[in-house]
Amino acid sequence: MFKKIMSHLFWVYAPLNEEPSVIKKILKVFEAVVTFILIVWTLIFILLLPAWFSEKHIINNHVIYSNNNVNSELLQNVLNIAKEKMKKSAVDMPKSLPTIYLYKNDTFFNVSLLNFFSNTTTYDPFYNRIHIKLNDLYANEVLNQDWLSTLITHETTHRLLVERYGILTYTFFMPNWTREGYAEYVSHNHAPPDKDYKEWLTIVRAGKNINQSFESWILVRHAIDEMGYSVDALHNGDVDRETVEQSLLNWVEKRIKNGVN
Q: How far apart are CA 134 and CA 121, in angstroms?
A: 9
Phi, psi of 183 (to 5 degrees): -65, -35
Q: How far apart are CA 150 and CA 78, in angstroms?
A: 9
Q: Which stretch binds Zn ion (CB under 5 A): 63-71, 87-95, 172-180, 253-261?
A: 172-180
Smallest gap, in angstroms, from Cβ of residue 155 to Zn ion? 7
Scan residues 140-159 and list those touching Zn ion (CB under 5 A).
Answer: none
Asked whether 68 and 54 are in contact (CB, 8 A), the reply is yes
Asked whether 16 and 7 are in contact (CB, 8 A), the reply is yes
Smallest gap, in angstroms, from Cβ of residue 102 to Zn ion? 17
Smallest gap, in angstroms, from Cβ of residue 180 to Zn ion? 5
Q: Which stretch binds Zn ion (CB under 5 A): 13-21, 108-116, 130-138, 176-184?
A: 176-184
Smallest gap, in angstroms, from Cβ of residue 103 to Zn ion? 17
Q: Which stretch binds Zn ion (CB under 5 A): 53-61, 174-182, 199-207, 224-232?
A: 174-182
- Chosen residue from 161, 183, 223, 231 binding Zn ion by CB under 5 A: 183
Triad 57, 63, 68: Cα angle to 5°: 40
Phi-psi region of 94 (alpha: psi -120 to 50; beta: other; left: phi over 0): beta
Q: How far apart are CA 172 and CA 167, in angstroms?
A: 8
Q: How far apart are CA 197 and CA 182, in angstroms?
A: 18
Q: Tell me whether residue 73 is exposed, middle or buried, using C-beta atoms within 10 angstroms of its C-beta: 0 to 12, 13 to 18, 19 or more.
A: exposed
Nearest to Zn ion of 180, 215 (CB atom): 180
Nearest to Zn ion of 80, 212 (CB atom): 212
Scan residues 33-92 and list those touching Zn ion (CB under 5 A).
Answer: none
Smallest gap, in angstroms, from Cβ of residue 30 to Zn ion? 33
Determine, following the binding rule CB under 5 A, whether residue 161 of this chain makes contact with Zn ion.
no
Q: How many residues bind Zn ion (CB under 5 A)?
A: 2
Residues that bind Zn ion (CB under 5 A): 180, 183
